[in-house]
């Protein structure tokens, strides 16, 4: 089957997205350039099932009722990620590649294009009004349907996210449930997976005073996704942060019994073997919950800091796994090429950093 590059997908969407959107939310148009700059507002195949399939000819997201609240935890991972992982054609990396090409910066453009061609999760922050949020989600659902694949979304708008670090922000506690419900309602009936609020549980070690407010909000968000038939994964930290037993307790409090499972290593750099050993322990402690691992930037392992480390490299390409033990997929949740913050010479969090992206590509994993 032919490989659909982001450029080809954007061309296809140019003629199909309006009609497709009418079948979902009416005639709308998203402005991706207004995305929250502090969030990973991106998207974007080697692997078992992630090769981008040819278009189906039917661009509108088809109703997808294969996952129900009762089967979210038990369904095979090939059904959870039906058709493999979708590529978002209007990702931050794809737009960076276009800008860099126009400037004649060919090396930087090639690095951005390599990242843009791979499935990367689309981050949903608090920088849009409701209509624009629905537009953004719908556009990716349409693109994913063209590919006959499953899009991965990330929610990143919980109050006091990032505990005051470089990606600080989030909605007010009174506003968050309605925002999350809108996301769930927009995804209802369509193929989609959600990564719920990176660092939301791990950061409670640093900001324990947030727990009384945050845990109920996460429980409510999990329930909304479960009721909508959308598999959700909760924050499981990483292998060098919160001990497995303590993380399992937080996950239980946050409602993992209604979620698909949890994720580890988001935006971090730890090797797969370390993450799998840790995740298997957490899985055992949470009634055999499934899990996914972020391998976007772990190709060279831990480099001494989480913030724009020198010497980092891309990890293995994102793909749905064979389902061995508790592992569902290796994902690119963090967008490779964006800055972690104004550290180690980086621009503000969420901005494309061309030289960093080039380094990640040059040092990418061989497997």
Residue 367 lies in a domain: no
Which residues are paired to 15 by β-bridges? Answer: none
From the candidates 82, 139, 148, 340, give the one annotated as an active-site residue.
Answer: 340
Q: Enter the tokens of residue 126.
A: 């608090």
Q: Is 173 exposed, middle or buried (0-12, 13-18, 19+ CB in 10 A)?
A: middle
Instruction: Say which CATH number the domain at 244 has.
Output: 3.20.20.40
From the candidates 36, 82, 126, 199, give the one annotated as an active-site residue.
Answer: 199
Nearby residues of 107 by Cβ (< 8 Å), 6 or more positions away: 358
Whole domain around residue 19: which residue ranges? 6-362
Domain count across the chain: 1
Give the SS3 label for residue 100.
Answer: helix
Question: Does residue 349 have a pLDDT over 70?
Answer: yes
Q: Transcribe 312-336 into DSSP letters.
A: -B--SPPEE----TTEEEEE--S-T
Q: What is the mean pLDDT of residues 31-37?
A: 32
Residue 232 lies in a domain: yes
64: confidence class by pLDDT, cuts 50, 70, 90: low
Q: What share of the chain is helix, strand, coil (3-state, %, to 5)?
A: 40, 10, 50
Q: Of 342, 340, 339, whose CA–CA distance to 355 is shortest?
A: 339
Q: Cα–Cα distances in Å, from 323 out to 123, 125, 260?
A: 25, 30, 13
User: At residue 193, what are phi and psi to the nearest 5 degrees?
Assistant: -130, 145
From the candidates 139, 148, 162, 274, give the one annotated as an active-site residue.
Answer: 162
Residue 221 lies in a domain: yes
Helices 211-227 & 244-253 angle (0-180, nearest 10): 70
pTM for this prediction: 0.85
Q: Kindly report which listed range (18-27, 76-85, 253-262) carries the lowest average pLDDT score.
A: 18-27
Residue that the structure tokens 């691992």 belong to: 293
pLDDT tens by residue, 65-86: 689 999 999 999 999 999 999 9
Q: Return the pLDDT at 367.
A: 57
Q: Dihedral angle at the C-alpha atoms of 194, 270, 219, 231, nearest 10 degrees?
A: 30
Whether 294 is catalytic is: no
Q: Return the pLDDT at 16.
A: 45
User: At residue 69, what are phi and psi to the nearest 5 degrees?
Assistant: -55, -30
Comparing 200 with 25, which gets the higher pLDDT?
200
Instruction: State how far the Cα of 179 lies from the Cα of 184, in Å rounded to an integer.
Output: 9
Q: What is the mean pLDDT of residues 265-273?
A: 97
What is the percent of the chain where pLDDT is above 90? 77
Q: Cα–Cα distances in Å, from 191 out to 34, 211, 213?
A: 25, 31, 30
Whether 340 is catalytic is: yes
Residue 107 lies in a domain: yes
Residue pair 353/310 in contact by the 8 Å Cβ criterion: no
pLDDT tens by residue, 151-196: 999 999 999 987 867 777 899 999 999 999 999 999 999 999 999 9
7: confidence class by pLDDT, cuts 50, 70, 90: low
Residue 1 lies in a domain: no
pLDDT tens by residue, 206-218: 999 999 999 999 9
Angle (CA) 336 255 349, round 5°? 25
Question: Does residue 21 have a pLDDT over 80?
Answer: no
Count the Cβ atoms, other than its own, within 10 Å of residue 241: 19
Residue pair 41/92 in contact by the 8 Å Cβ criterion: yes
């Amino acid at each position: 089957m032919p490989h659909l590059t982001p450029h080809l997908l954007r061309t296809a969407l140019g003629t199909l997205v309006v009609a497709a959107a009418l079948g979902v939310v009416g005639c709308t148009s998203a402005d991706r350039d207004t995305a929250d700059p502090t969030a990973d507002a991106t998207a974007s195949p080697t692997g078992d099932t992630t090769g981008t399939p040819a278009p189906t000819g039917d661009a509108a997201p088809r109703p997808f009722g294969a996952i129900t609240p009762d089967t979210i935890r038990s369904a095979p991972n090939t059904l959870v990620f039906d058709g493999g992982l979708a590529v978002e054609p209007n990702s931050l990396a794809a737009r960076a590649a276009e800008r860099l090409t126009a400037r004649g910066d060919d090396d930087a453009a090639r690095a951005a294009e390599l990242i843009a061609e791979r499935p990367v999760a689309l981050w949903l922050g608090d920088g849009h009004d409701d209509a624009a949020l629905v537009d953004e989600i719908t556009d990716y659902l349409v693109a994913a349907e063209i590919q006959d694949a499953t899009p991965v979304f990330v929610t990143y708008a919980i109050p006091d996210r990032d505990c005051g670090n470089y990606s600080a922000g989030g909605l007010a506690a009174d506003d968050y449930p309605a925002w999350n419900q809108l996301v769930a309602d927009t995804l209802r009936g369509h193929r989609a997976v959600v990564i719920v609020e990176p660092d939301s549980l791990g950061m409670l070690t640093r900001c324990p005073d947030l727990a009384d407010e945050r845990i109920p909000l996460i429980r409510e968000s999990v329930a909304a996704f479960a009721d909508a038939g959308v598999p959700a994964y909760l924050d499981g930290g990483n292998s060098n942060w919160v001990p497995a037993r303590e993380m399992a307790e937080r996950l239980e409090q946050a409602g993992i019994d209604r979620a698909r499972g949890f994720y580890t290593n988001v935006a971090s750099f730890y090797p797969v073997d370390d993450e799998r050993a840790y995740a298997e322990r957490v899985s055992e402690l949470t009634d055999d919950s499934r899990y996914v691992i972020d391998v976007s930037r772990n190709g060279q392992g831990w480099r001494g800091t989480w913030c724009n480390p020198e010497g980092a490299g891309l990890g293995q390409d994102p793909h749905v796994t064979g389902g061995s033990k508790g592992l569902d997929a290796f994902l690119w949740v963090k967008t490779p090429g964006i800055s972690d913050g104004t550290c180690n010479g980086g621009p503000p969090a969420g901005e494309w950093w061309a030289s960093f992206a080039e380094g990640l590509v040059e040092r990418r994993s061989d497997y």
